[in-house]
Chain A
Amino acid sequence: MKRARPELNTGSMADISFLLLTFFLLTSSIDTDLGILRRLPPPPDPTQEQVDIKKRNIFTVLVNKNDELLVQGRPMDISMLRAAAKEFLANPYNRPDLPEKKMEIIPGLGEVETSKGVISLKNDRGTSYKMYIKVQNELTAAFNELRDELSMERFGVKFSQLSNQQYIDAIQKAIPMSISEAEPENVGGK
């Protein structure tokens, strides 16, 4: 006689998996880490002599403790910073007070004009972090827009959409992210 096999009761299986699901939902976070990537310069070398950079090649951005901007010696609103930085870096009309350019041969791009301009950013100890990130963001945006334009012109796609590593390197070399942060000085206080 064939005996009926008892069936496994799977009714509580759903409860168990629900429990696991809730546990993982509580202990984990979805947030992917996003942020502005920067490379810090190595600590200053006292034996190294100061390199003189021509005044026209420096774009100074100062942020004071009241979160106000001083760009090239003039007060400026944050909304204008991106355009100003772009104009400085590109120097489209070859103005004598904006940075010099030099012709450079870059593999993948051929001969391109690269700017000698450097953005110098200096903040106070009392500057709020929010403002600092805003300024960093605007400066990054200026570089990214210039890279996008060059990439569009040469390869027909935006820089962020480039997949060929060689092209990415070429664009990065043509428009380097030249933001330099000054050595901190104690001014203003906390």
Chain B
Amino acid sequence: MARFKKSEGRSTPGINTGSMSDIIFMFLFFFMVITTIRESSLIVRVKVPQATEVAKLERKSLVSFIYVGQPIDYKYGTESRIQLNNQFASVADIREFITREREARDEVDRPLLTTSLKVDEETRMGIVTDIKQELRQVGAFKINYSARKTLAKE
């Protein structure tokens, strides 16, 4: 008859955590590669509209952003405002903004500079039209209406 020896006072072996850091580092690199660092904190509320025919923006480094939407902080009112970099701006400031963005890039890349309009879906077209007119005056012709991708129509 078989007898099982009962272990006495044996402690469970500890889990080897040596490779844990490797796994976490792998995670870290994965996230670092697929994400982009948020370039500016938003002070306007932007919920971009949905569209089906969206295209991907090539070359992230050649994109400058213009945000339009209601201020998040109610003390600035509820009317749609423009955000350039980290502050509120008016339509007249766009000229300087685009010039600065151009100067920050290589001379070769300047014609490829794209302006991405991140506009809240509740905004009226008046302010958007003004921005577009200003961009035309400055010569920033490549624009991108930022939108979320949906597969089916609403």
Contact = CB atoms under 8 A, between A and B. Distances in A.
Interface of A: 10-11, 13-14, 16-18, 20-21, 24-25, 27-30, 32-43, 79, 123-130, 132-134, 136-137, 140-141, 144, 184, 190
B38 A28 contact: yes
A166 B94 CA distance: 37
Contacts of B32: 24, 28
A14 B17 contact: yes
Contacts, number: 155
Nearest to A32: B56
Interface stretch (B21-29, B82-90, B102-110): B21-29
A90 B36 CA distance: 41
Contacts of A39: 141-143
A128 B53 contact: no
Interface string B17-57: 11011001101100110111110000000001111111111
Given A35-B55, A35-B147, A190-B126, 6 more contacts: A13-B21, A18-B24, A29-B38, A124-B125, A128-B123, A137-B51
Contacts of B124: 125-129, 190
Contacts of A13: 20-21
Nearest to B39: A29
Contacts of A132: 125, 128
A35 B116 contact: yes
B24 A129 contact: no
Contacts of A33: 56-57, 60, 63, 116, 144, 146
B126 A129 contact: no
A126 B125 CA distance: 6
Given A33-B144, A140-B53, A129 B37 contact: no
B7 interface: no
B49 A134 contact: yes
Nearest to B51: A137
A29 B35 contact: yes
A11 B21 CA distance: 9
A129 B31 contact: no
B113 interface: no
